[in-house]
Chain A
């Protein structure tokens, strides 16, 4: 373990960020805000251009003759059935974020649009923006990163590392090895910090769920830290023993709870209103997603610019932060599928599910705001992580549904951290498919510490900016990986 410089540097770097955040949390949050703010102002155009380019590459490859190339040997067959493949894809990429933002995000945009332009159909614009953040662009980022890893790993026999395509395509020399090493390091940092942020958001959500379930008030930081401690204890066991498919079962269970919740709210909520919103938002999304990908909102005033930075840009770099982690996972479960099948599965199905999900949760929020006296806007503005539970409290069987969200959020967290510790272990040990328990536990400790840092910041905005700080270098690395993929594909005979 101690002879691997990449592992040591990566552990030291992420550990130092964690230590800095614990000692001087405000200092780290201010530093992240300054650096990310400058990048977002100066390079917003480039970030949007890159995510749109990723989408064009993904769709172009699926529709081109290269779409028939298999991710694996020509005689490889897919390891998983299509339904369980799609379920696993979705659980890996979104997880706890959907539970957290289901109602909160559309309603937050609704309030912002109302304040900026009172005459607009704020609810449908808010749903469109939410769908844009969670739709094709997000899944193209995951899908194309995973495609690079799967193509070079399964078809060209490279290790599952971010550096492998660079060394394979440009040959092994001092420059490519150094750039590859840096790319692996940046991927590790982006994953670790991104996961730390998700841990914090998930813990906030579980804590508010426990509050809602037992009618607790003013539980403050004590309960939050207690939940983090339970989470850390819960993921140590799966890291020390090989649970095989056990983690997939837990992840599917969490998805099943989330799916049940969505159907329950659709049926017990204002069904006609929700369905009307879903159908409309499907059309609006399909009609506008491509153009929206190029929108930088340059000609509008500063308040819109600030909104754009703290939502659209943050989401895009957030997906980039998760891309190497989710990419490795979806690559591993997609062996034997063609590029066309892979891109269609990764981009279409999760996007369609997201539109329905936000249509249901957002629709309920809009119905409360437009047709009832329920103070949903106040809840979203005052404590965003309570939103989902506040919504559930308006429905029957609230103890059961709130408990379901708490359990699903907790399961998503455990499975995410266990998978992330595995991927980080793999990346930091030269692509070892069975990293040692000691390496995995070291990463689990760093993830727990980073989660603690984000929790101590006490603010979702600070969490978002610290994640963006870790992910920004990956904007460049993804472009380099795409160049590698396109160059390698030119060698294929199709």
Chain B
């Protein structure tokens, strides 16, 4: 099965964006987010 290069690029950009979002969420400080976890 072949994949269209544009589709491939778009699908991987989505993954890169997701990874970026996860890294940002992990390192985001609690003051910015109003963290819901109890102390």
Minimum C-beta distance from A63 to chain B (A): 20
Cβ of A172: which chain B residues have Cβ within 8 Å of it?
36
Q: Is the CB of B3 within 8 A of A169?
A: no
Choose one: A38, A168, A476, A483; the contact of B26 (CB below 8 Å). Answer: A483
Q: Is the CB of B3 within 8 A of A171?
A: no
Q: Is the CB of A170 within 8 A of B3?
A: no
Choose one: A46, A480, A486; the contact of B15 (CB below 8 Å). Answer: A46
What separation, in Å, do the CA atoms of A487 and B27 have in the docked complex? 9
Cβ of B35: which chain A residues have Cβ within 8 Å of it?
169-171, 487
Per the 8 Å Cβ criterion, residues 1-39 of B in contact with A are 1, 3, 7-8, 11-12, 15, 18, 22, 25-26, 33-39
- The majority secondary structure among interface residues of chain B is helix
Cβ of A169: which chain B residues have Cβ within 8 Å of it?
35-37
Q: Is the CB of B1 within 8 A of A37?
A: yes
Minimum C-beta distance from A300 to chain B (A): 16
Cβ of B25: which chain A residues have Cβ within 8 Å of it?
170, 480, 483, 487
- The majority secondary structure among interface residues of chain A is helix
Q: Is the CB of B12 within 8 A of A43?
A: yes
For residue A492, which residue of chain B has the nearest CB? B37
For residue A491, which residue of chain B has the nearest CB? B37
What separation, in Å, do the CA atoms of A39 and B15 have in the docked complex? 11
Q: Is the CB of A170 within 8 A of B36?
A: yes
What separation, in Å, do the CA atoms of A42 and B12 have in the docked complex? 7
Q: Pick the most buried of B8, B18, B35, B39: most chain A CB atoms within 10 A of its CB.
A: B35
Q: Is the CB of A168 within 8 A of B12?
A: no
Q: Is the CB of A476 within 8 A of B18?
A: yes
Q: Pick the most buried of B3, B36, B39: most chain A CB atoms within 10 A of its CB.
A: B36
Q: Is the CB of A168 within 8 A of B3?
A: no
For residue B9, which residue of chain A has the nearest CB? A42
What separation, in Å, do the CA atoms of A480 and B18 have in the docked complex? 9
Closest 5 pairs between A and B when the two form their complex, measured CB to CB = A171-B36, A42-B11, A37-B1, A41-B3, A171-B34
Kindly list 15 other residue pairs between chains A and B, CB separation below 8 angstroms, not including A39-B11, A170-B25: A37-B1, A38-B1, A38-B3, A38-B7, A41-B1, A41-B3, A42-B12, A43-B11, A43-B15, A169-B35, A170-B35, A170-B36, A171-B33, A487-B25, A491-B38
